[in-house]
Amino acid sequence: MLIRNVEVEGYAPTDVRIGADGRISEIGRRLAGESQVDGGGGALLPGLHDHHVHLMALAADASSVHVGPADVRTPAGFAQALRSGPPGEWVRAVGYHESVAGDLDRSVLDAIVADRPVRVQHRSGAMWFLNTPALRAAGLDGDGRLWREDERLRQLIPPVRLDLAALGRRAARLGVTGFTNADPRPAPGLRRTLSVLPQRLTVMGVDSPVKVMLDDATLPTPGELATLVREVRPRPVAVHCVTRVQLLVTLLAVQEAGPVAGDRVEHGAVIPAETVPWIRRLGLTVVTQPHFPVERGRQYAAEVPPDDHPLYRCRSLAEAGIPLAAGTDAPYGTDDPWAVMRAAVGREDGEGVTPEAALGLFLGAPDRPARARRLSAGAPADLCLLHVPLREALHVLSADTVRAVYVGGRRIAP
Give the helix/strand (H/E) hosting 358. Answer: helix 355-360
DSSP state at residue 244 = H
CA atoms within a 13 Å half-sphere pointing along the CA-CB vector of 212: 29
pLDDT > 70 in the chain, percent: 99
Mean pLDDT calculated for residue range 363-388: 97
CA dist 244 → 206, 214, 254 (Å): 28, 12, 16
Question: Model confidence at 180, in pLDDT bands (50, 70, 90)?
Answer: very high
Quote the CA–CA distance of 80 and 332 in Å, as a whole number: 22
Q: In the prediction, which pLDDT does 12 show? A: 82
| pLDDT of 159 higher than 90 | no
Mean pLDDT calculated for residue range 125-141: 94
Evaluate whether 213 touches 191 at the Cβ level (below 8 Å).
no
User: Among 76-85, 107-116, 194-203, 280-289, which is the least confidently predicted range?
Assistant: 76-85
pLDDT > 90 in the chain, percent: 88
Quote the CA–CA distance of 263 and 368 in Å, as a whole number: 10
DSSP state at residue 373 = -
Angle, helices 222-232 vs 244-257, to 10°: value is: 50
Evaluate whether 265 touches 259 at the Cβ level (below 8 Å).
no
* DSSP string computed for 326-357: E---TTSS-S-HHHHHHHHHH-SSS----HHH
Question: Model confidence at 185, in pLDDT bands (50, 70, 90)?
Answer: confident
Q: In the prediction, which pLDDT does 257 show? A: 98
* Runs of H (alpha helix) within 200-349: 222-232, 244-257, 276-282, 292-295, 297-303, 315-319, 337-346
Number of helical H runs and strand E runs in the chain: 17, 23
State the pairing for strand pair 237-241/118-122. Answer: unpaired
Evaluate whether 287 touches 318 at the Cβ level (below 8 Å).
no
The sign of the CA dihedral 125, 127, 131, 133 is: positive
Average pLDDT over the chain reads 95
CA dist 285 → 136, 204, 267, 280 (Å): 44, 15, 10, 8
Q: Per-residue pLDDT tens for 307-363?
A: 999 999 999 999 999 999 999 999 999 999 999 999 999 999 999 999 999 999 999
| pLDDT of 63 higher than 90 | no
Give the helix/strand (H/E) hosting 14. Answer: strand 14-18
Q: In the prediction, which pLDDT does 86 show? A: 67
Q: Per-residue pLDDT tens for 232-272?
A: 999 999 999 999 999 999 999 999 999 999 999 999 999 99
The sign of the CA dihedral 202, 203, 209, 211 is: positive
Q: Per-residue pLDDT tens for 13-54?
A: 999 999 999 999 999 999 988 889 999 999 999 999 999 999
CA dist 126 → 122, 123, 140 (Å): 7, 8, 18
Q: In the prediction, which pLDDT does 406 show? A: 98
Q: In the prediction, which pLDDT does 49 show? A: 98
* C-beta neighbour count of 376 within 10 angstroms: 12
Quote the CA–CA distance of 118 and 88 in Å, as a whole number: 10
